[in-house]
Structure 1
Amino acid sequence: MKYFPETPVEERPEFHRQAKDFLARAAPKVVRQFSPMARVKWHLAASGRGDELVDLLHYERENPGAFSVRGLRRARIELPGVESSSLPSSVRNFNRSELPVRGKLLGLAWEDGKLQIKGYAYIPNVPSATGKRSLRVAVLRRQGSRSTLPLRLRTVVEPRATAEAKGALHNYDWSGFEIAVDPARLRVRGQWQPGTWRLGVGIPRPGGMSVGSITKNNAGAAGHSLTRILDDGVRLVAGFDRNRLRLSVDVVPAEIIAQEADGDTLTVTLRSRVTTPAGKYPTALRIDHEPSGFVTDLPLQQGETGADGWLRHTARLPLADLPVDDVRPGKAVKYRTLIVFADGTTRRATNGTGPVTGVHPLPEGRELALLTDGA
């Protein structure tokens, strides 16, 4: 198919015959899974419309993946030199999955107590509204619930959308957006409750509306998780699941609040809620290294209740117990830290508002660095 324009004229009838035979034998559901452009090309080939197929293949070489979408009640493909009305509806019409939203996160930051989300979103090959009168909508949907929060979406110019689309047929400059999320709106009946909210952007298109997620950027701050303390023991994590932006309200049952070393031993202090259910009472601090299989559980010793009303716990790690055989210049060994609960479950050992990072010297010029990530 790709080199049909270079096929000698006398060999083209045989190609048309084989294309017709292929479509006759192929299951309709299989053909329907072809891309819109592929469906048109195979239909032209099977119908003996060689001249139109040659023109279409030349156009595709110059504009890979580009076409026009038209229609009111049903979205259909339009290509230069091919009359759409001459194509069967099963060939020319789109299904909803063929008109996805392409969204990308460009900025993620806290401003004036609100999470500012910046990016762009458009439907490839669908005419994009120009100016600030775009009809796009944004919504947060709580996972596992029907709860939704409509958000105000401000349309802005974002030339990077057109540049990254890598096509000359369409302009997506007005697909940029800015959204401000007030975290107070994520309360459930006035209370903080654990939950995950996913951001969706809806864009009108011929035949309805497409809704899609915003994916992470691989460069800059928009490619990393962002955490903010909302209340005592309550965090909001703007992170990613399969590269799609999500906001998680994390009501912390236990967390690390301090660490110190006296030369031979690292002491880590945790706190836990007095009202925590029995199953979520912290019993150990686990340190592991999955590639090597190393794991050690450090028992937690309960202390007094702090001024904040949380229970205190301490774990002690003899620094000599950490394997260092694979540590050498230019290569570090990264250990993971988990909190183990009475019911056997674990969670990442997150930290509270105070700084818990630090660097402690080890023998033979090595050092132990305690670090945190964005989540």
Structure 2
Amino acid sequence: MIRQAVLEYDHSKDALENLPARIGKREALVLRGESGYSKAVRVSPRLADLPSVRFTGECSDEEVERLNGYRPDVWIAVGGGKLIDTAKRIAASQSVPLIVVPTLVSNCAAFTPLSVIYTEEGSYIRYDTFPVVIERVIADERLLRDSPYDYFKAGVIDTVAKWYEARYISGTTSRDAGIQSGLSLAAQCGKLMDLSIREQDFRRYGTDIRYIVDHVLAIGGAVGGFGDAGTRVAVAHAVHNALSRFDSTHHWLHGDKVGFGLVVQERLVASEDTVILKNWLQSIGAPTSLAQLGIRFDQIDELVTLIREETKIQGFRDFDDSERLKEILINLQEMVYK
């Protein structure tokens, strides 16, 4: 199935100035985070005139139930990935439109017809897909160029993962038009490794950074929209989901854990790209060992079990050799793979 979630995507220097016109005479309600919302108000003070409700921090069933008590004509999501996922889930259940204002360059939540659901403590449960239509994504350069760099870096890792995971599931070509389109977009995402993502480049927000931001926020999400299960998530995200069960990993960002999962995934298939991938992750300060993620040696068996469970839950190609997976994780416990 080909399923795209966004009608319009506006990435421009003053994109937020168009928000009042997009709302029109409808009753709007802003779902707001903390720091991101306040920065958005500084960029566009009129945003503060709209009624708002605070997001508690997790895209959980409990949070969705709480917010479903509000019934605006249009929701405005101003924040990061979990907030946007929550707004999508609510908008879909209420059959009302949604306008998204991302305040972080951290993932493709603003462009995907799905929400990742966590417990209130931050452990992954599942992801829900639905025919939600986002009216408009408003990517304001003034807001994004001053957003936290660590989130941008993690967002690039998560976007690069689109290529490796799509390739793991479907190979490099397909006779299915949707999957082939997804693979072509995923290949673009993989090539972001060739561009500089240093913080000084991000702050200058030149042509290359705009190109990268568009891939993190939009193109990466379109990969799964075209290819669906044929290009969406594979072992790297299964590893992320399993790692999220350990409290020691909660301070690491989503993309950081996915990057570690990519190293595991590519080792499993004996990919020649593993060393290139590992070196790239190290060069940008992403974790490449379980010790960095706070996972002890005596927790590896539990991690193996959780990863296997995640591959079955998500329904993609499983691997039968738990000992091979354990061997890889042991070698990634305290050092980069030997």
Tell me which of the two structures has the higher relative contact order, counting C-alpha pairs closer than 8 angstroms and 6 or more residues apart.
2
- TMscore range, shorter length: under 0.3
TM-score by length of 2: 0.24
Determine which structure has the larger helix proportion and give its number: 2
Determine which structure has the larger strand proportion and give its number: 1
Give 1 or 2 for the bigger CA radius of gyration. Answer: 1
